[in-house]
């Protein structure tokens, strides 16, 4: 009996050593992982124009509990047009959904859209912009399927047309995570693709592995020609044309910064560095400034998880390997500071204003901030409402 137990413990110990050795080999050397080292500057102090205030704490909630993930929106005097989690684009008037546009066959007839397993087939609309001035005609980026024109002229029967198919490679690589877009003209768009390796469901893998595999495209609608304007970018998501339409500013989310791309020369330069959170969509205020939604806020007193793990690719790769994709969304709250911040940047990238909710109960992760008639409309990839704040 003792001899048998001795063998059991011996082989168990050998097995444990082998397991530890395999784990050490897998995660101790960056060459064996997809994760890459990076370094952030020390997080900014919340002073000056970043001083903590209660600017978001009087937010009104539109359709509270009736929508999921209002990522991006266009607001006018008549309505709010918003992309939501169950593969729909909604028209909202006076706090009520009056029309729904479904552009994929699955989203039209499949009742289970909006879940982890169904996203690739149903689609997930993200960035939305008005295509034709004065008309309810929009362009929408779907993370999985491509880019669509969605026309709400007939409110009872919105019409959708695909103008970019994600199945078609661009410079040899298929877009895996189309995110945001802006309109140069009725025939030209600028589009961001956050990753050529990971789709939207696996956004945390893209962020934690921290590879420069994002791109920015130019699309000519009439010819369906696409060209790459910039590549080797760190999770580019939000994108916004400058007033002269000769450049775009775009978020490099996983680097907590915004860069500027001159379209003609393809020159990329820094616009706003070391932000107090990870930037998502960028929208013009109409006053020469830009609103930026932030998630996973970071500051001198509360560094983010990404600040702490930059030099530890092995740990980040281990998290990617052991946490199943569907679990990341409910786990995010454990990894980040609840403090919510949105910022306003001037024409050279300086922060001129910030609004805060230190509890995150009134406004959560802000994916987009849209200004209209003295109010801010704030969307989120995770929240169940649109927040409205009076300026």
Helix, coil or strand: residue 366? coil
pLDDT score of 283 more than 70: yes
Beta-carbon contacts of residue 145 (< 8 Å; ≥ 6 apart): 103, 104, 123, 162, 165, 166
pLDDT score of 32 more than 90: no
Tell me: the pLDDT tens digits for 167-202?
999 999 999 999 999 999 999 999 999 999 999 999
Domain with residues 39-390, CATH architecture: 6 Propeller (2.120)
pLDDT score of 123 more than 70: yes
pLDDT of residue 104: 87
How large is the average pLDDT for residues 125-145?
97
**344, 279 Cβ separation under 8 angstroms:** no
pLDDT score of 18 more than 80: no
Distances 358 to 42, 77, 280, 297 between C-alpha atoms, Å: 20, 31, 19, 10
In the Cβ-directed half-sphere of 282, how many Cα atoms lie within 13 Å? 33
pLDDT of residue 110: 82
Tell me: the pLDDT tens digits for 35-54?
999 999 999 999 999 999 99
What's the CA gap between 114 and 143, in Å, rounded?
A: 13
How large is the average pLDDT for residues 127-131?
98
Tell me: the pLDDT tens digits for 221-264?
999 999 999 999 999 999 999 999 999 999 999 999 999 999 99
**232, 266 Cβ separation under 8 angstroms:** no
Tell me: the pLDDT tens digits for 324-377?
999 988 887 777 899 999 999 999 999 999 999 999 999 999 999 999 999 999
**215, 244 Cβ separation under 8 angstroms:** no
Q: Tell me what percent of the residues of the chain surpass a pLDDT of 90.
A: 85
**340, 56 Cβ separation under 8 angstroms:** yes
How large is the average pLDDT for residues 128-133?
96
What's the CA gap between 272 and 289, in Å, rounded?
A: 13
Domain ranges of the chain: 39-390
Rounded (5°) CA angle 344-138-133: 80
Distances 211 to 28, 155, 236, 298, 318 between C-alpha atoms, Å: 18, 42, 11, 21, 16
**111, 105 Cβ separation under 8 angstroms:** no
pTM over 0.85: yes
């Amino acid at each position: 009996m003792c001899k048998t137990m001795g063998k059991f413990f011996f082989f168990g110990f050998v097995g444990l050593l082998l397991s530890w050795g395999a784990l050490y080999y897998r995660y101790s050397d960056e060459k064996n992982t997809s994760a890459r080292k990076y370094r952030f500057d020390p997080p900014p102090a919340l002073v000056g124009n970043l001083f903590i205030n209660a600017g978001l704490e009087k937010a009104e909630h539109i359709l509270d509990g009736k929508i999921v993930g209002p990522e991006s929106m266009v607001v006018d005097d008549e309505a709010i047009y918003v992309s939501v989690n169950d593969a729909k684009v909604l028209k909202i008037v006076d706090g009520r959904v009056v029309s729904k546009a479904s552009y994929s066959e699955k989203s039209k007839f499949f009742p289970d859209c909006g879940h982890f397993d169904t996203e690739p087939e149903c689609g997930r609309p993200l960035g939305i912009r008005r295509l034709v001035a004065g008309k309810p005609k929009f362009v929408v980026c779907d993370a999985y399927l491509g880019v669509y024109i969605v026309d709400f002229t007939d409110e009872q029967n919105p019409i959708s047309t695909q103008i970019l198919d994600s199945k078609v490679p661009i410079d040899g690589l298929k877009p895996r995570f189309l995110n945001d877009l802006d309109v140069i003209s009725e025939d030209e768009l600028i589009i961001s693709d956050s990753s050529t390796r990971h789709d939207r469901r696996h956004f945390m893998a893209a962020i934690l592995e921290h590879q420069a595999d994002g791109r920015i495209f130019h699309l000519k609608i009439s010819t369906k020609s696409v060209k790459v304007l910039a590549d080797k970018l760190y999770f580019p998501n939000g994108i916004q044309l400058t007033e002269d339409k000769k450049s775009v500013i775009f978020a490099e989310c996983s680097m907590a910064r915004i860069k500027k791309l001159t379209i003609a020369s393809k020159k990329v330069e820094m616009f706003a560095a070391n932000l107090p959170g990870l930037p998502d969509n960028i929208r013009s205020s109409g006053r020469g400034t830009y609103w930026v939604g932030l998630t996973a806020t970071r500051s001198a007193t509360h560094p983010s998880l990404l600040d702490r793990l930059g030099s530890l690719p092995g740990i980040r790769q281990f998290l990617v390997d052991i946490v199943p994709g569907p679990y990341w969304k409910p786990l995010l709250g454990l990894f980040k500071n609840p403090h919510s911040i949105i910022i306003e940047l001037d024409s050279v990238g300086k922060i001129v204003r910030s609004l805060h909710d230190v509890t995150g109960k009134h406004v959560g992760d802000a994916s987009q901030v849209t200004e209209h008639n003295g109010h801010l409309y704030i969307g989120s990839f995770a929240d169940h409402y649109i927040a409205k704040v009076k300026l």
